[in-house]
Amino acid sequence: MTLPAFTFSAGSLEFADRRLEDLGLSLDAAGAFRFSFERMQGAGAEFLGQGLVVEGAIEEFDPAGPAPDDRALTVRAALSSSGLAGRLLFRLGADELRIELATADQPLAALGDIPGLPEAVGWSSGGRFDAGFEVLQARGLSPAISFHFGATDLSFDSPDGRYAGEALQLAARGSVRPAAEPFVELEGRIAGGELLLGDFYRDFADAGLNFAGDGRWSEGGVELAPIRVDDGGALALEAAARLRPGGDEPQWSLEVSSLELAFPAAYRRYLEPLVAAWTLDGLEVTGAVSWNGEWAAGALASGDLEISDFSVVDVRRERFAVTGLTARLRPGDHAFDSRLNWQGLLVGRVNLGAGSALLDSEPGAIALLEPLHLDVLGGGLDLESLKILLPGGAGDGSGEPDISLRASIDDLDMAQLTAALDWPAFGGRISGEIPGVSLDDGVLAVDGQIRFEVFDGLISLGKMGIERPFGVLPSLAADVEISNLDLEQLTSAFSFGQIAGRLDGYVRDLRMLDWKPVAFDAWLGTPERQSGANDISRKAVNRLTTIGGGSATTALTGPVMRMFSRFSYRRLGLGCTLENYVCVLRGLEDDGDGVLLLEGAGVPKITIRAYNREIDWPQMVSNLLAISEGDSIQIGEKPDS
């Protein structure tokens, strides 16, 4: 085979909407050739903007065989562009056309020089990849296209650190049939490395991930079916996705024919990183969950959720536990009443025991169909209504479940409650109403007032809201109103020393961060409606003096005072405004010398004043804890007269 030799060069060549610069082409008689250009502008510049070099040989060239169908051309060449190298095979024979383009063992760092890749992605200098593309067309048939891609130690990261991969091992292959309705097949495996996509993190060291899918596209839209994903033990998914053009926004739907999750592996591999923002990491999860359903028009259209022998235990923070949970739910199917059963339920240290709930599966939501009663702490908890708006349901744009409920508690034993909450022990009973609570977009809000009947009086919580209730640094705001508490019951419960009478008060503009008070305006005092005198014990006098950082005074001398174990008082009052960890104290009166906390009555008449108007709040809390444990701490002294 002898070919005509020639050489061609040009400073630039323009055709269609492209421009090639510093172009060169040469061919010798033996078939060796070289084609190159330094730069490209216009269409295709995103991939070949930094030039291309093709060097190879025409191995077979027969333009005039015995018959037109016998004509043949075979070209092999090496290609290089943007730091990447590959090989090309082009063969046009009597029966088929074959084109092969492949690259092997190339540095991933070279991908960073391709202008077509997103600028927001930074590719690491490590790792290698190979890729291939093949077109085969037999006479009279549509072309068959196949491709493959593999990467070793694939690493990348975004400037904000939200998207990254490290040492990923990836292999994928597929085929395309460009017929009237083009069809593509793809299958692959991620066999190692780490991947971070926003809040999702997965380490593939313990198990790889297999994926496969078929796709079709036409004027009517794009269909991906089936989509298959499995990791050999924790997750198995089969689904179909469809995208239809229409209006200003295309319409999409997702139909999951089967999703199987096996725990604890599914929690460790997929769920724990996603729920860590709600401080739901570190859970012990066992059991199995299966689901099928459909999303359409941006909302959950139907679904069937089955939960088998499911248990969740908060072993790290000990906040809750549910064991032996079984259920079958059909969100969106009003005709199907779902029942939820559990063998054990623990909230903090409060044991709610076993139970069963009947649920109504509304579209995109689950609601309690009938009130639920639970025996707890010697009394009862009645959940009158509960509704959970599922993520992706109608009206939900947060990606988090929204919850609303209404409940009441009846005759709980305070001794059991304080023990469960690890509070100072005291007795009594408590009842109350929770008129409405909602969890929306991560904010827990109370509709109306939560009212508790305790110590023969009433405590009401209003304007209550909690941001990040299950997250980092939860923030609470509320107003508390206290009405007509029996002081004798209250002080006896806390080992304060006995005080008779009634108590009103408030804690307004309460702000708590991480469940610790950082600001409030509080007052506790004798109601104006109370008349006459009431008793106060010597122990209570000492405790009240300790809180105020002052002293008790009387006209009697010390030896005579020791003869009395009880005294009379007309009124008492103690207020505190907390700001910057300092409690600014106030009382019934302020004469400039001290703050009056207790006004005595009768004989012996005793008066309690505080002389420190600004008290360190952490120290005051320590004093209150010491008082509840029976210790006495004296702070503050009366100024020298």
pLDDT at 560 over 80: no
**Is 581:617 a contact under the CB 8 Å cutoff?**
yes
Band of the pLDDT at 638, cuts 50, 70, 90? Answer: very low
For the chain, percent of residues with pLDDT exceeding 90: 36
Q: Which residues touch 117 (CB under 8 Å, ≥6 apart)?
A: 111, 123
> DSSP class of residue 110?
G
Q: Who's near 357: CB < 8 A, 6+ residues apart?
A: 339, 340, 368, 372
Q: In angstroms, how far apart are the furthest CA atoms of the chain?
A: 138
Residue 565 has pLDDT above 90, yes or no: no
**pLDDT per position as a tens digit, 212-230:** 999 998 877 889 999 999 9
pLDDT value of residue 331:
66
Q: Tell how strand 365-368 and strand 320-329 pair up.
A: unpaired
What pLDDT is attached to residue 58? 87
Give per-residue pLDDT as tens, 64-93.
555 555 668 889 999 888 778 899 998 888
pLDDT digits (tens, 9 = 90+) for 145-169: 999 999 999 888 877 788 888 999 9
Mean pLDDT, range 176-182, rounded to an integer: 77
Residue 82, strand partner residues: none
Is the per-residue pLDDT at 557 higher than 50? no
Residue with tokens 């008066």: 607
pLDDT above 60 for 299: yes
Report pLDDT for 208. Answer: 94
- Is pLDDT at 563 greater than 70 in this prediction? no
Residue 543: its pLDDT value, please? 81
The predicted structure's pLDDT at residue 125? 54
pLDDT digits (tens, 9 = 90+) for 426-462: 677 888 888 888 887 778 888 888 888 888 899 999 9
Whole-number pLDDT of residue 547: 72
Percent of the chain past pLDDT 70, that is, above it, reads 85
The pLDDT of residue 92 = 86
**Core vs surface per residue 30-51: b (16+ CB within 10 A) or e:** ebebebbbebbeeeeeeebbeb
Which residue in this structure is represented by tokens 């596209």? 217
Kindly report, residue by residue over 341-387, the tens digit of the pLDDT: 999 999 888 899 999 998 886 666 778 889 999 999 999 999 999 88
Query: What region does 164 belong to: left with phi over 0, alpha with psi -120 to 50, or beta?
Result: beta
pLDDT at 399 over 70: no
pLDDT over 70 at 400, yes or no: no
pLDDT tens digit sequence for 245-272: 876 777 888 999 999 999 999 999 999 9
What is the residue whose two structure tokens read 């990923």?
168
| 472-527 per-position pLDDT tens digit | 788 999 999 999 999 998 888 777 889 999 999 999 999 999 889 999 999 999 99
- The alpha-helical segments, DSSP class H, found in 181-288 are 265-266, 272-275
Minimum mean pLDDT range among 16-20, 169-173, 200-204, 602-606: 602-606
* Cα end-to-end distance, the chain, whole Å: 124
Q: How far apart are CA 485 and CA 455, in angstroms?
A: 6
- For residue 369, give Cα distances in angstroms to 175, 339, 383, 473: 51, 10, 11, 35
Low-confidence winner among 84-98, 266-280, 323-337 (lowest mean pLDDT): 323-337
Average pLDDT of the chain to the nearest whole number: 84
What digits encode the pLDDT tens for the residues 579-588? 999 999 999 9
